[in-house]
A and B are shown apart, each in its own frame.
Chain A
Amino acid sequence: MIAADDRVSARTRIVLAEVVRRESDSEHPRTEHPRTELAEQTRVGEALVRGLVRAQLSLALRLWLVVAVGLGGLPWLFAIAPSVSRITVLGVHLPWVLLGVLSFPFLVLVGWAYVRLAERNEQDFTDLIQRPER
């Protein structure tokens, strides 16, 4: 599902350069233009949206990978190295500590990081669209 968007990756920046050039030529008030591009689904607008979707998806996939390795690796680890399961922390076996207690703050932490980074992506996108005239 990522492959489908790959072909735009190289083009995005060139198109954005066009946006800036064209708009500095234009006599219209600045902020209206890119929004219209977005709404009217011109090639420029579409490329902008594709860029945002790609950024958000790759962010989500990267953080998902963190969880897949961090939690998903545990059954495999316990299976190939049973001695790990026998380690005790304050009298409690490690698998119980990891799964029963630490997994929950870990998930919240990843979620918190995602919300921050996703909002930053959106802020960057908004700034790009509403950039004041130079």
Chain B
Amino acid sequence: MGNGYVAPAIVAVTLITIGIGFYGLRLARTTSDFLVASRAVSPTWNAAAIGGEYLSAASFLGVAGLILKHGVDVLWYPVGFAAGYLALLLFVAAPLRRSGAFTLPDFCELRLGSRRLRTLATAFVIFIGWLYLVPQLQGAGLTMATLTGSPYPLGALLVAAVVTANVALGGMRAITFVQAFQYWLKLTALAVPAIFLVLQWQADARPAVTPPEGPTFRTATTVVVDHPATLTLPDGQLRQVRPGDELTFAAGQPVPDVAGAATDPADWLLPSTGADEQGLFTTYSLIIATFLGTMGLPHVLARFYTNPDGAAARRSTLVVLALVGAFYLLPTVYGALGRIYTPHLLLTGETDAVVLLLPGAALGAGTTGRLLAALVAAGAFAAFLSTSSGLLTSVAGVISTDVLGRGSVRGFRLATVLAGSVPTVFALNVSGLEVSQVVGLAFAVAASSFCPLLVLGIWWRGLTARGAAVGVLVGGGAAAGAVLVTVLGPPLTGWPAALLAQPAAWTVPLAFTVMVAVSTATRRRVPTDVGTTMLRLHAPEALR
């Protein structure tokens, strides 16, 4: 696309990531250093690192793209992604840190003393981790392809290789510094261009985000079609387009309706109404998945062990909530201004690219526009690198301790290569999935498996290993099944589609109910040391 600043920006982010990784390597000496950064990271650094790790491709690119396409209803994604940290703070943060567990499987064994439950938790950590890694690598491939015109596999392979090498060589100690740096980079990379974009919008005499006649092209635009689609032209005619077709529009011409995108201004601007029961169900299901799913994401939990104690875990979670919330103010600006400056993305369906293309489209091909486009590209790469690093660290952590069965540094390195190659293979072969859709499904699985396990494990003495295992299998299994049907199965319509595409509203209550019912039925198997465990989870540090 002829922006000479993009490639250097991406290379710089990658080199800095590797550089900080090697700086950390000099400090990493023991297995404990590798896995949990020796628990010697300050709360502010740790909070920035948690935020940096959490804000993935879905947050950086996907949220703005969804807002561009669907409007106000999808604002629940950023709200839910942030609210997940509140749930984590309220129900999990301090007790989990006080438990002293390294990973989720560790917590299972510590609380319920069951090796079989531990194995089951390991399987779910790996499943969720991989499910979340694939869209990160895909996002990297798409970004490189959009910005530099390189083939799709190059970006995916580049990120996979850098992250695998960095995690294998430096472990989490290095990653903590990398992640903290990347949070601030991501915030800057969205905030600075956003300021320029809003100023440009002012200078253009504030064109309406939702003109009554629908989105229009501001400049003469030629669109090359990638996917077959049916367009509704302004005069009401239907037109079938095939991949490779070129459509030319003059300035001021309205954008044709595309099935699936909210081109009607009222649909985009106003929430779904009571008449749309499926829409309401989907919204609530999304809220449940994101509010409760965050606590079950393996890479999020792994971070909590780097806090020195329970009180610090609570405080750093609060800081994370503020950092993440500040970040999520920005994608809405891109989504809304995208309606004005990049309406052709509605036509091509590549709405995930809005954050990358908007600076160039709004500010023109001058130096400012190109520099800002490069900054955004750098931020996007920071997003892929940081989230993938965190996921890979956790997946590799459980593979090295639970599957390979040795806690050595060498075992961890081997596990990292293993954990990194599987999602890379998937990402290279499945390019048709939407980034935010897959991420949403990962949240649903986490909310239906680990959320009930953690909440009941921390607050209810009556939980038994059998109850936990059956609950995780039924709830998590149902959610995972819904994911597989949605991604691989035949296209569905109506209620079955809504129930499977956003399963959390029924799988989360199901998991809680089954866990409580089976635990109550196996009451005699409640661990005898549950009192000691509860004391350990909840006693303030002052009494230790």
Which residues from B are CB-within-8-Å of A5? 461
**B531 and A46 within 8 A (CB):** yes
Closest Cβ of chain B to A71, distance in Å, is 7
CB-nearest residue of chain B relative to A63? B90
**B321 and A107 within 8 A (CB):** yes
Closest Cβ of chain A to B96, distance in Å, is 13
**B314 and A53 within 8 A (CB):** no
Closest Cβ of chain B to A67, distance in Å, is 6
Select B538's contact among A53, A86, A93, A103, beta carbons within 8 Å.
Answer: A53
Give Cα distance in the complex from A105 to B89, angstroms: 15
User: What is the count of residue pairs linking A and B with beta-carbon distances less than 8 angstroms?
Assistant: 143
Q: Which of A67, A112, A122 has the most CB of B within 10 A?
A: A122
Select A41's contact among B83, B91, B535, B543, beta carbons within 8 Å.
Answer: B535
CB-nearest residue of chain B relative to A75? B283
Selecting from A10-18, A21-29, A77-85, the interface stretch reads A77-85
**A57 and B459 within 8 A (CB):** yes
What per-residue 1/0 map shows which CB atoms of A100-111 lie under 8 Å from chain B?
Answer: 110111011011
With A63-B90, A104-B329, A108-B321: A49-B75 Cβ-Cβ less than 8 Å: no
Chain B contacts with A in 79-110, Cβ cutoff 8 A: 79, 82-83, 85-87, 89-91, 94
Which residues from A are CB-within-8-Å of B329? 100-101, 104
**A115 and B318 within 8 A (CB):** yes
**A96 and B460 within 8 A (CB):** no
Chain B interface main SS type = helix
Select B315's contact among A4, A46, A86, A115, beta carbons within 8 Å.
Answer: A115
With A53-B459, A115-B314: A104-B82 Cβ-Cβ less than 8 Å: yes
Interface size on B, residues (CB 8 A): 53
With A80-B274, A111-B89, A129-B543: A119-B311 Cβ-Cβ less than 8 Å: yes
**B321 and A122 within 8 A (CB):** no
Give Cα distance in the complex from A125 to B311, angstroms: 14
**B271 and A75 within 8 A (CB):** yes
Query: Does A30 touch B at the CB level, under 8 Å?
Result: no
**A64 and B79 within 8 A (CB):** no
With A5-B461, A114-B89: A71-B534 Cβ-Cβ less than 8 Å: no
Which residues from A are CB-within-8-Å of B321? 107-108, 111
CB-nearest residue of chain B relative to A124? B540
With A41-B535, A79-B272, A99-B72: A107-B86 Cβ-Cβ less than 8 Å: yes
- Chain A interface size, as a band, is 35 or more
Q: Which of A1, A5, A50, A86 has the most CB of B within 10 A?
A: A1
Which residues from B are CB-within-8-Å of A129? 543
Closest Cβ of chain A to B75, distance in Å, is 4
Give Cα distance in the complex from A5 to B283, angstroms: 34
Which residues from A are CB-within-8-Å of B322? 108
Chain B contacts with A in 176-210, Cβ cutoff 8 A: none
Chain A interface main SS type = helix
Chain B contacts with A in 317-350, Cβ cutoff 8 A: 317-318, 321-322, 325-326, 328-329, 332
Closest Cβ of chain A to B340, distance in Å, is 15
Select B543's contact among A38, A99, A114, beta carbons within 8 Å.
Answer: A38
**A111 and B271 within 8 A (CB):** no
Instruction: List 25 A-B residue pairs with CB atoms under 8 Å apart, sorted by A's residue number.
Output: A1-B459, A5-B461, A35-B543, A45-B531, A46-B531, A49-B531, A64-B90, A64-B91, A75-B271, A75-B283, A75-B287, A78-B270, A78-B272, A79-B274, A85-B270, A85-B271, A96-B75, A99-B79, A104-B329, A105-B325, A107-B85, A112-B318, A114-B89, A115-B315, A118-B94
Q: Can you add 20 more A-B contacts, CB < 8 Å, to A1-B456, A80-B274, A99-B75?
A: A1-B459, A38-B535, A49-B539, A67-B86, A72-B284, A75-B76, A78-B272, A85-B271, A93-B269, A93-B270, A96-B72, A96-B269, A96-B332, A101-B329, A105-B325, A107-B82, A108-B321, A111-B85, A122-B542, A126-B542
The list of the 7 closest CB pairs from A to B, nearest first, reads A104-B325, A122-B540, A78-B271, A99-B75, A1-B460, A79-B274, A60-B90
Chain A residues close to B by CB (< 8 Å):
1, 4-5, 35, 38-39, 41, 45-46, 49-50, 52-53, 56-57, 60, 63-64, 67, 71-72, 75-76, 78-80, 82, 85-86, 93, 95-96, 99-101, 103-105, 107-108, 110-112, 114-115, 118-119, 122-123, 125-126, 129-130
Chain B residues close to A by CB (< 8 Å):
72, 75-76, 78-79, 82-83, 85-87, 89-91, 94, 269-274, 276, 280, 283-284, 287, 311, 314-315, 317-318, 321-322, 325-326, 328-329, 332, 455-456, 459-462, 516, 531-532, 534-535, 538-540, 542-543
